[in-house]
Amino acid sequence: MAHLTGDSSVGTWLDDPIGGAIFRELLTQAGQDAGVLKPVRRLALKRLVKLSKGRFSQELLDELVERAAKGDVNTDAAASASPQGAPSTEQGVTPAAVERPEWVERISTGRFTGKTVIVTGAGSGIGRATASRVAREGGRVIAVDISQERLDEFVAETPGADIVTVTADITDDAAIARIIEAAGDTIDALANVAGVMDNMTPVHEVDDATWKRVFSINVDGTMKLMRAVVPGMLARAQGSIVNVASEAALRGSAAGAAYTASKHAVVGLTKSSAYMYGPSGLRINAVAPGPVITNIEATFASALGEQRVRDGMAIMPDAAEGDQLAASITFLLSDDGVNVNGQVLASDGGWSAA
């Protein structure tokens, strides 16, 4: 038996004959099964303490590690959790894949020095990771979020950085004006990250409130900030905008009708703007994430929607973390993306290739 700790990955725990039995036993007691952990198999087990928002406590983690060290599991549980065993290579079957090493962020010092960058949704998830990376690479960040509490937490996590926080609803014109005022005369880049998920309803079940809310934030908010920053960028003949689309902008099986349509609209807005403003020195691109660990949680308000979306997600890769998406976004935001315009970068772990 491998020596299991909180630093061991979720997949390592689940694949271990003893650790997997103990882990599955606890999941069963909580009314869950191991399938819910597929998107986070590569993460260290201890990461679940924060990501689960209290459902997986430090005490539970300590209990797992202690029980695994003692081999404290009943025989039936261990037998049911044991791997079935892959056929050997002598039978012409590929052996189980070696666990991939964890990705490590590498900061490009000074990449955003002297630049002012607006990042929406900066209080959490992809937005916070993007704002953090820009700040740590020397940029002045205008961090926008609807929650002042989340913005305060972000600032506290990034001491010494040049961060201006703006609590704002990006669908409100007055709030857009406050964001631009906070940024000042020169805005070098904009990352439109803020967005909301729908409730996975197909078109015959979607209600007007859900449709309007999703489009208001995902499309109208994105458009309003683009409209506000483009004139200044045109005056200087330079600027970069990155809009966060989604895997749902590339396929119909990743979300409900409202979210899917809204992210397709974001791609259209991106490509139209790239065509219009490219000769004037502006670059407008989009990033289409696959599964990402954020505070945006999927809900299912439709039995049909749940069945079809879950079927479509059967080939979904492991979930990425916000820092990994920030790496894609900041590449396009920065001068490193100098010759990239009007593109939709599928930062989705290969989901769109399936």
Which residues, in sequence order, are CB contacts of 114 under 8 Å at separation 6+?
A: 138
Give the closest residue to 289 by CA, choosing from 188, 171, 170, 195.
195
Q: Looking at 13, 112, 215, 259, which residue is catalytic?
A: 259
Which residues, in sequence order, are CB contacts of 67 under 8 Å at separation 6+?
A: 22, 73
H helix and E strand count, the chain: 13, 9
Helix axes 17-29, 58-70, angle to 10 degrees: 140
Q: Count the helix, strand and coil residues of the chain and give each as a percent rounded to the nearest 5.
A: 50, 10, 40
> H or E element: which one contains 227?
helix 222-236
Distance CA 296, CA 187 (A): 28
Are 249 and 266 a contacting pair, CB within 8 Å? yes
Distance CA 224, CA 54 (A): 36
Long-range contact set of residues 49-52: C-beta below 8 Å, sequence gap at least 24: 51/293
Across-strand partners of 117?
A: 141, 189
Look up residue 141 and give its two tokens: 């960040």
> H or E element: which one contains 156?
helix 148-157
Give yes or no: 259 in active site: yes
Distance CA 333, CA 284 (A): 9
How close are the terminal C-alpha atoms of the chain, in Å?
35
Catalytic positions are 259
